[in-house]
Amino acid sequence: MSNNIPKLRFPVFTGEWEEKKLGEVCEVKKGQQINNSELTKDTSLFPMLNGGSTISGYYIKSNSPANTITISEGGNSCGFVSFMKVDFWAGGHCYVINHKTNITNHFLFQSLKYKENDIMRLRVGSGLPNIQKNSLLCEISISLPSLPEQEKIAEFLTEMDNLIAAQGEKVEALKEKKKGLMQQLFPQNGETTPRLRFPGFEGKWREKKLGEVGNTISGLTYSPSNVSNNGLLVLRSSNIKNGTLCFDDCVYVQSIKKYNPVKENDILICVRNGSTNLIGKNALIPRGLSSAFGAFMMVFRSTAWSFVFQLLRTERYSEQIEQNLGARINSINSEDFKNYTFLFPPTTVEQQKIASFLSELDNLIAAESDKLENLKNYKKGLMQQLFPQPVK
């Protein structure tokens, strides 16, 4: 039985797919370096791609046409495959992919997205990783059906991409809506009352330190010998994703007698990490979770947890973290955290009203985000059937 036939196929199409090296089906060219001083705010120009994402808000002349495939050559997004729908400038950390006559452009893009993990495995370098052009051309293989079957597969997967993009836009719109509401529901700098208030509430908000409304609890220190395949779950920064807990990457320990267990509605906070942008990220502990948390984490425990949790989503919180990091590289300690100041409503009833409203928005965002992840996983599962599996 052939190993180069997909499990799922559109009617009419038969026969084995032909396997080719990437260098046989496309040309790969590296983008051009440019001085950042040449970037402008002129929206009549085109976005710059210098790896996996555009430099938001900046524009430049174009050196690549719309409907071009790119692969990030280096940096944090190394190996990321994208499809630019508009003219753009391909920067120095970007490979531009041009297809040949025996493969359609959209099918090549979907094939490369399917092979994205294989592409990422080509990364080399002890610092910021990069991918060598010759590795791409010689070590990545693409399986090809007939041109009509390519077009059918590409059309179907492109429709899936459009659904995913539309759902992604819905999630981002909800996030922007919440951000805008928070700017009105909380007093702005130099003000003591919010611009938008629920009926029945009045009076100036009062500045408080977090230490006045709650306590911090330190995490667990353990050794590699304690790590096990089961036992006590130890929450770490990798267990926090988009403001909620996730359990894709968990660590368990055994033979630990003394530790501080988490409690429902604790706020778990990353206070030390090699990556500065992870400092301060946080999530609520749900009901029924039995676990500890690592030494690079901290818990804030308060009866005002629901309101404080929303305060930790404000620009004021980010500003105080940034000020703190100036004195302590990549870390904040409990005393510093307890000295963070925020404005609080004069009554707990108003606090709870605001927190409840924003929490409902969070739940809506989470639900729509789950739909987005489900669509992505659905497409991933389909691709595993629409493309032949590699020979083992």
- Residue 380: pLDDT band (50, 70, 90) is very high
For residue 1, what pLDDT is reported?
42
Residue 57 has pLDDT above 90, yes or no: no
- Say whether both 178 and 225 belong to one domain: no
- Residue 49: pLDDT band (50, 70, 90) is confident
- Say whether both 217 and 293 belong to one domain: yes
- Residue at 6 is within a domain: no
CB hemisphere CA count around 19 (13 angstroms)? 14
Region 101-128: mean pLDDT is 92
For residue 280, what pLDDT is reported?
95
For residue 53, what pLDDT is reported?
66
Tokens, residue 342: 């925020």
- Residue 326: pLDDT band (50, 70, 90) is low
The 3-state secondary structure of the chain, one letter per residue: CCCCCCCCCCCCCCCCCEEEEHHHHEEEEECCCCCHHHCECCCCCEEEECCCCEEEEEEECCCECCCEEEEECECCCCCCEEEECCCEEECCCEEEEEECCCCCHHHHHHHHHHCHHHHHCCCECCCCCECCHHHHHHHCEEEECCHHHHHHHHHHHHHHHHHHHHHHHHHHHHHHHHHHHHHHHCCCCCCCCCCCCCCCCCCCCEEEEHHHCCEEEECECCCHHHEECCCEEEECHHHEECCEECCCCCEEECCCCCCCCCCCCCEEEECECCCHHHCCCEEECCCCCCCEEECCEEEEECCCHHHHHHHCCCHHHHHHHHHHHCCCCCECCHHHHHCCEEEECCCHHHHHHHHHHHHHHHHHHHHHHHHHHHHHHHHHHHHHHHCCCCCC
Distance CA 136, CA 71 (A): 10
Region 279-302: mean pLDDT is 96
- Say whether both 226 and 331 belong to one domain: yes
- Say whether both 135 and 218 belong to one domain: no
For residue 324, what pLDDT is reported?
78
φ and ψ at 89, to 5 degrees?
A: -105, 120
- Residue 390: pLDDT band (50, 70, 90) is confident
For residue 75, what pLDDT is reported?
81
Residues 6+ apart with CB under 8 A from 370: none
> In the chain, pLDDT over 90 holds for what percent of residues?
81
Of 209, 208, 221, 213, nearest in space to 298 by CA: 221
- Say whether both 108 and 53 belong to one domain: yes
- Residue at 8 is within a domain: no
Q: What is the pLDDT of residues 247-285, one digit of tens each?
A: 999 999 998 889 999 999 999 999 998 888 899 999 999
Of 140-154, 172-186, 268-282, the one with minimum mean pLDDT is: 268-282
Residue with tokens 């703190």: 324
> In the chain, pLDDT over 70 holds for what percent of residues?
97
- Residue at 57 is within a domain: yes
- Say whether both 228 and 336 belong to one domain: yes
With contact defined as beta carbons under 8 Å apart, do 308 and 338 qualify? no
- Residue at 385 is within a domain: yes
Q: How many domains does the chain have?
A: 3
Decide which of 110, 128, 144 is a domain's last residue: 144
Q: What is the pLDDT of residues 64-99, one digit of tens each?
A: 999 999 999 988 889 999 999 999 999 888 999 999
- Say whether both 170 and 269 belong to one domain: no
- Residue at 1 is within a domain: no
Query: Mean pLDDT in the chain?
Result: 93
Residues 6+ apart with CB under 8 A from 189: none
Region 86-115: mean pLDDT is 93
- Say whether both 313 and 332 belong to one domain: yes
With contact defined as beta carbons under 8 Å apart, do 307 and 352 qualify? yes
Q: What is the pLDDT of residues 183-239, one digit of tens each?
A: 999 999 999 999 999 999 999 999 999 999 999 999 999 999 999 999 999 999 999
Sign of CA dihedral 369, 374, 379, 383: positive
- Say whether both 119 and 156 belong to one domain: no
Domain coverage including residue 137: 18-144
CATH number for 229: 3.90.220.20
- Say whether both 166 and 227 belong to one domain: no
245-to-9, 34, 47, 240, 282 alpha-carbon distances in Å: 38, 40, 35, 5, 9
Of 56, 107, 65, 58, nearest in space to 86 by CA: 65
Distance CA 321, CA 315 (A): 10
For residue 312, what pLDDT is reported?
97
Region 296-307: mean pLDDT is 97
Considering 143-152, 255-264, 319-328, the range whose residues carry the highest mean pLDDT is: 143-152
